[in-house]
Amino acid sequence: MECAWDDTFFSAYGSVIELGGQHRQAEGDPLRVVLSRLRVGVCLDEDLDLLNSTWTDAAEEWTDFQHLRARTCDAKQFNERRLAEVVGAAGSFTCRDEVPEPMEGEPPQAERHSDLSQVAADVVTAKVGARVVCKMSFGAVKTGAHGIVLLFVPEVSVSCKSDSVGEPVQMPFVKFSVMDAEEKELACRWQVPILLSWAVTVSRSQGMTIRKVAIDFSGTPWSLDGMVYSALSRAVSRASLRVRGLPRAHVKTSSCALAWYERARSERLIRCR
C-alpha cells in the first residue's frame, strides 16, 4: 500500500516474478492443497475439519512442538507457564535505559520508553534448560536462532547452546536502539538478547521453516489479514502440524494484496505480448 512498494515493481527499475505454490510442503501433501486455497481466502468445511483434526487429544500440550500465537501477550503467557515447569532457580535480567532529554520537535521521553519496550523486554527471566530465541545476531548465533539456556549469571550474562551452532555462546547485555526517520538514535536499551521461545508470535516466525508446529487458535482474536495462512505455512506437512480451535472467521485475506497480485499478473501478461 506504500508508494515505494509500487515504485519498486511497476517501474523501469523493477519487475514482478511470482513464485507459485507452497515450497515447504511436498507435492501431494494435504496441507499444500489447503494452503493454496487459504492463501486467496477460500476456506472449505473440509479444510477446517482436516486442520482441526490434527490436535487429536484436548489435554495434549505437544511440548516438543514449536507453538505459535497471534499476540505477544499470548506467547508470553504460554512461555511463563512452561518456564514455571522447569526445575531450578530463575535468574532475572533488568533492562538499563538511556533516554536523553528530547530536543525541540522530538518525541517526549515517555514515548521513547514505550518504544524501547517494543524492541527489548523490560525484564528477561531465564532458567537452565529454558527454550529461547536470539533477538540480535551475536557472534555465530544469528537473529531468530533458537537454543537452550546452559547457565547464567543474573543481571550479567547468559550462556546458550544454539540449535545452529556447535559451541555454547555467552551473551552479555547488548544495545537495542530506537531511531527516528533519519536514523538518529533517540534512545537505547541494554538487555540480554534472548526471549523465551516455547511459543513465539506468528510475526516473529515469518520466514521460518518449522519441523513441528502447534497453533492454538481458540480464545484469541486473529484479526490480521493473512495471519492464519502465515502461521500454517510454517509447517512442512500435515503430519507435522497440530491445530485446534480454528474457525472460519479467522481466515482473512487482504483485498489490497489480492488486487495487487491481479495487477501484477496483468502487467506481466501485457509485457509478454
Range in 72-76, 102-106, 153-157, 254-258 with the lowest mean pLDDT: 102-106
Would the pLDDT of 272 be above 50?
no
Average pLDDT over residues 170-174: 95
With bands split at pLDDT 50, 70 and 90, how would you rate the model's confidence at 107?
A: confident
* Gyration radius from the chain CA atoms: 21
Would the pLDDT of 31 be above 90?
yes
- Residue 269 host element (H or E): helix 255-272
Q: Residues 132-141: pLDDT tens digits? A: 999 988 888 8
Q: DSSP letters of 27-61?
A: TT-HHHHHHHHHTTT---HHHHHHHHTT---TT--
Would the pLDDT of 270 be above 80?
no
Contacts for 214 with CB less than 8 Å, ≥ 6 apart: 55, 62, 65, 66, 67, 68, 241, 242, 243
Beta strand segments in the chain, E: 66-69, 91-94, 96-98, 123-126, 131-134, 146-153, 157-162, 169-172, 174-179, 185-191, 194-196, 199-201, 213-216, 241-244
Tell me how far CA of residue 195 lies from CA of 6, 135, 143, in angstroms. 35, 7, 11
Instruction: Give the chain's end-to-end CA distance (angstroms, integer).
Output: 28
With bands split at pLDDT 50, 70 and 90, how would you rate the model's confidence at 54?
A: very high
The residue to which cell 506437512 is assigned:
237
> Which of 106-110, 122-126, 165-169 shows the highest mean pLDDT?
122-126
Domain ranges of the chain: 3-65+212-268, 84-197
Would the pLDDT of 50 be above 60?
yes
What is the predicted pLDDT for the residue at 137? 87
Q: Residues 222-243: pLDDT tens digits? A: 778 889 999 999 999 999 999 9
Average pLDDT over residues 69-81: 92
